[in-house]
């Protein structure tokens, strides 16, 4: 009983701090971190991908209009909450009159949390809430960390990176922009470079700034340790290259996805994406989908090497939306024409089994009279005027966006100025209190 009372979190002594640090580290945090990593790895392996659209940066479907809090990371939330609840030390230690009042000691006494390991539990709690899709809870945890551990600059930087991801996933672009500005104005510690690179790449992709995201995404792929996540991001890189029209780079990115250790779905979809990126000089896939192309592809690789992959198309049940899949990646007219021609189209006359009638339909006939020609010219003039008005509207919108960006930067500057002024006033007040305290100590010593 005496040992339990001596190690209570209501007491702040070197013994209690050492006891609660040891208990937090090995009894709770170790198991919580292990569970977090296992759930994260299992989520990457079991997540069902939608290859018809850009793969999400993280292997988890975005949660919208979530009614109840919780998710697969609930065990981590319970363990870390228990660590904070039972092992947090907020009581101030007794001062030793014989100990010199140094600046480091005064700063240490000003903190609100004295368990030297509890910040790890706080950070893991916020990450677990974020992975569950409970963004408001994660935001509350990270902001509380900024208040409790404001003297630990590296921890605050790591918290700001996680706040950047939270704001991005919440769609709060203004707050995410402010957080990104704060991060870019400081030096990122070396052990946080990988986390910052990954979060910034996800931010750029979320904003659809694909060209700017490519170098950051490549850095993220190089540093990624999880094999499945590494290949997912490699596939996403190929999709972004394809959307930017960089066919050769997209081809090579999809080629890097394939491998013996990859799931069959990834290999199949990478091959289909490569087929979609074939140049117009390559023979299109025939309607019976059985002949093998023999021309070279845009990346210089022989299309004969894809003969095995093209057999994947012989079963229409495996690719029910193959035409849509093509159109997702291909933006050029020649590619779109290739795709349309390569897939059999329904006959205009289902009751006729022979060739379609060579007579053009009435909708394709050219106007024969002067009135029809005049009507067509008036319609084109109206379309041209509408397009001109649309262009003017787009220019006005761009001007408005530039003005808003200028106002945002001005607000950021004003906010920084206010924060500096508050910090100056706070430091002056602290200094004044310290002077008064020293005067009282001297007065007591004289007495």
pLDDT digits (tens, 9 = 90+) for 387-436: 766 666 666 767 777 787 888 788 888 888 888 888 888 888 888 888 88
Distance between CA atoms of residues 346 and 108, nearest Å: 78
- pLDDT greater at residue 67 or residue 133: 133
Q: What does residue 302 show for φ and ψ, rounded to 5 degrees?
A: -65, 135
Please say if the pLDDT value at position 7 is more than 60. Answer: no
Q: What SS3 class is residue 296?
A: strand
Decide: 307 and 285 in contact? Cβ < 8 Å. Answer: no
Phi-psi region of 133 (alpha: psi -120 to 50; beta: other; left: phi over 0): left
More confident residue, 241 or 364: 241
Query: pLDDT of 227-236, one tens digit each?
Result: 889 999 999 9
Identify which of 118, 115, 120 has the alpha carbon closest to the alpha carbon of residue 14: 115
User: How far is the C-alpha of 354 from the C-alpha of 389, rounded, in Å?
Assistant: 48
**Global model pTM greater than 0.85:** no
- Give domain status of residue 262, yes or no: yes
Instruction: Say how many domains are in the chain.
Output: 1
Cα separation, 212 vs 205, whole angstroms: 9
The answer to whether residues 185 and 150 touch, using CB atoms and an 8 Å cutoff, is no
The whole-number pLDDT of residue 106 equals 67
Q: What distance in Å separates the CA atoms of residue 229 and residue 221, rounded to the nearest whole number?
A: 9
Cβ count within 10 A of residue 115: 24
Does residue 245 belong to any structural domain of this protein?
Answer: yes
Residue 45 pLDDT grade (very low, low, confident, very high; cuts 50, 70, 90): confident
Q: For residue 272, which of 232, 302, 314 has the smallest C-alpha distance?
A: 314
Q: pLDDT category, 353, cuts 50, 70, 90?
A: very low
Q: What is the model's pLDDT at position 446?
A: 80
Average pLDDT (46-75) is 81
* Alpha-carbon distances of 135 from 142, 235, 422, rounded to whole Å: 10, 27, 29
Residue 81: per-residue pLDDT: 92
The verdict on residue 243 lying in a domain is yes
Calculate mean pLDDT across residues 34-38: 94
Q: What is the pLDDT of residues 120-178, one digit of tens each?
A: 999 999 999 999 999 999 999 999 999 888 888 999 999 999 999 999 999 999 999 99
pLDDT computed for residue 395 by the predictor: 64
pLDDT of 299 over the 80 cut: no
What is the secondary structure of 74-123 as a DSSP string?
HHHHHHHHHHHHHH---SPPPP-TTS---HHHHHHHH-S---TTHHHHHH
Tell me, yes or no, whether 386 lies in a domain. Answer: no
Q: Is residue 424 part of a domain?
A: no
Average pLDDT, the chain: 75
On whether the CB atoms of residues 192 and 219 are closer than 8 A, the answer is no
* Better-predicted residue by pLDDT, 352 or 35: 35
d(CA 361, CA 227): 55
Residue 247: closest CA among 275, 283, 216, 228: 275
Compute the average pLDDT of residues 98-120.
73
Question: HSE (CB half, 13 Å, CA atoms) of 188?
Answer: 19
What pLDDT is recorded for position 61?
56
**Whether pLDDT at 113 is above 50:** yes
Examine residue 317 and state whether it is found in any structural domain, yes or no.
yes
- Quick one: average pLDDT of 31-37? 94
Highest mean pLDDT among 78-87, 305-314, 435-444: 78-87
- Name which residue leads in pLDDT, 29 or 366: 29
Tell me whether residue 336 is in a domain: yes
Q: Which domain holds residue 301?
A: 226-344
The rounded percent of the chain whose pLDDT value lies above 70 is 66
pLDDT higher than threshold 70 for residue 248: yes
Please tell me the predicted confidence (pLDDT) of residue 334: 38
- The pLDDT, as a whole number, for residue 16 is 80
Q: Which residue has the higher pLDDT, 10 or 230?
A: 230
pLDDT of residue 361: 38
pLDDT at 313 over 50: no
Measured CA to CA, the distance from residue 198 to residue 196 in angstroms comes to 5
Whether 275 is in a domain gets the answer: yes
Query: What are the beta bridge partners of residue 296?
Result: 302
Whole-number pLDDT of residue 336: 39
Query: What pLDDT is stored for residue 10 in this prediction?
Result: 55
């Amino acid at each position: 009983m005496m040992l339990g009372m001596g190690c209570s979190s209501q007491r702040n002594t070197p013994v209690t701090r050492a006891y609660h640090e040891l208990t937090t580290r090995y009894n709770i945090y170790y198991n919580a971190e292990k569970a977090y990593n296992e759930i994260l790895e299992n989520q990457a392996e079991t997540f069902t991908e939608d290859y018809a659209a850009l793969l999400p940066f993280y292997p988890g479907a975005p949660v919208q209009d979530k009614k109840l809090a919780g998710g697969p990371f609930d065990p981590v939330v319970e363990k870390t909450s228990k660590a904070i609840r039972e092992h947090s030390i907020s009581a101030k230690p007794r001062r030793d009159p014989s100990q010199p009042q140094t600046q480091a000691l005064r700063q240490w006494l000003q903190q609100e949390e004295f368990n030297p390991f509890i910040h790890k539990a706080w950070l893991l709690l916020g990450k677990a809430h974020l992975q569950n899709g409970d963004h408001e809870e994660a935001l509350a945890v990270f902001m509380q960390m900024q208040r409790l551990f404001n003297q630990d600059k590296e921890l605050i930087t790591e918290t700001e990176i996680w706040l950047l991801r939270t704001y991005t996933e919440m769609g709060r672009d203004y707050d995410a922009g402010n957080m990104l500005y704060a991060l870019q104005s400081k030096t990122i510690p070396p052990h946080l470079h990988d986390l910052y690179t990954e979060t910034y790449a996800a931010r750029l992709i979320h904003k659809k700034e694909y060209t700017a995201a490519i170098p950051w995404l490549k850095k993220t792929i190089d540093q990624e340790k999880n094999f499945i996540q590494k290949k997912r991001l490699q596939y996403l890189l190929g999709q972004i290259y394809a959307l930017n029209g960089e066919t050769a780079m997209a081809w090579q990115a999809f080629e890097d996805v394939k491998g013996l250790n990859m799931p069959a779905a990834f290999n199949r979809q990478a091959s289909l994406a490569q087929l979609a990126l074939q140049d117009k000089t390559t023979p299109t896939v025939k309607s019976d989908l059985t002949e093998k192309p023999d021309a070279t592809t845009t990346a210089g690789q022989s299309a004969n090497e894809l003969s095995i992959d093209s057999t994947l198309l012989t079963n229409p049940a495996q690719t029910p939306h193959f035409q849509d899949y093509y159109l997702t990646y291909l933006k050029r007219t020649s590619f779109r024409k290739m795709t349309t021609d390569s897939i059999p189209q329904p006959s205009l006359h289902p009751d006729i089994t022979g060739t379609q009638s060579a007579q053009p339909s009435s909708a394709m006939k050219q106007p024969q009279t002067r009135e029809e020609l005049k009507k067509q010219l008036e319609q084109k003039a109206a379309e041209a005027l509408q397009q001109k008005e649309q262009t003017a509207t787009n220019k006005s919108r761009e001007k408005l966006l530039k003005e808003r960006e200028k106002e945002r930067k001005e607000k950021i500057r004003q906010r920084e100025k206010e924060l500096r002024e508050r910090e100056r006033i706070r430091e002056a007040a602290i200094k004044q209190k310290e002077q008064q305290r020293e005067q009282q100590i001297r007065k007591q010593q004289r007495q």
